[in-house]
Amino acid sequence: MQQEFYIFRHGQTDYNLQNRWQGCGFDLPLNATGREQAQNLANKLKDKKLQIIYSSNLRRAAETADIVAEKLGIPRAYNTNLREICLGEAEGLTAQEAETRNPEFYKKWISLDAKYDNLRFAGGESKAEVGLRMLTALREISSEAQKYRIIGIASHEDSILQLLKLLSLPLEHIDNAGYFHIVRDGKEFKLVI
């Protein structure tokens, strides 16, 4: 059976406004703009016929999923593998602060070149690990939710970026409440553009 996934980033938080890296260590709620973005996302997804939403356990993604699920009248479940990347010692920093601390490492970190995908901040995860964790999450959800054909996924920017990179769409940024459509046919996941 073919399954469709609508994978979306959470709404805005105050740290997003400050260009501050939350990672998985800062569990902030949505701000007023973020809640409005989640409402607008629900309107955009209404005609997609989602049957369930799986969410990261971090508050900003869970809150976004709750708003969308409530508006669409569907259930929501958690999968901790959908959480944001662990940035270790870089969590809570702005991009500018991270660059100032180590300009050479920062330049490699933000690169889309796959040769840097195994880099990590001290105490954190690599981009390669996060991409595989996200792919594992999709496989787990696909197996667990076999009775559902159209599934929403609430996650985080860096985690979604790494999944998309595995699916041959390297991007630098995803807007808050932005979404992507992925289809699983058999064992393979494909991005629908």
CATH number, domain at 51? 3.40.50.1240
* C-alpha to C-alpha distance for 6 and 176, rounded to whole angstroms: 14
Known catalytic residue at 173: no
Give strand pairing partners of 185: 188
Domain membership of residue 91 (yes or no) is no
**How many angstroms separate the Cα of 18 from the Cα of each of 12, 22, 176?**
11, 10, 14
* Predicted TM-score of the model (pTM): 0.95
The range of the structural domain enclosing residue 13 comes to 3-18+30-85+126-192
The per-residue pLDDT for 159 is 98
Domain membership of residue 7 (yes or no) is yes
Domain membership of residue 24 (yes or no) is no
Domain membership of residue 23 (yes or no) is no
Per annotation, catalytic residue among 4, 63, 84, 91: 84
Domain membership of residue 143 (yes or no) is yes
Give strand pairing partners of 192: 181
Element (H or E) spanning 149, and its range? none
In tens digits, the chain (193 residues) has pLDDT values of 799 999 999 999 999 999 999 999 999 999 999 999 999 999 999 999 999 999 999 999 999 999 999 999 999 999 999 999 999 999 999 999 999 999 999 999 999 999 999 999 999 999 999 999 999 999 999 999 889 999 999 999 999 999 999 999 999 999 999 999 999 988 899 999 7
Domain membership of residue 113 (yes or no) is no
Domain membership of residue 138 (yes or no) is yes
Q: Which parts of 18-130 are beta strand (E)?
A: 52-55, 76-78
Per annotation, catalytic residue among 10, 63, 125, 157: 10
Domain membership of residue 95 (yes or no) is no
**What is the CA 179 to chain-centroid distance, rounded?**
9
Q: How many domains does the chain have?
A: 1
Known catalytic residue at 181: no
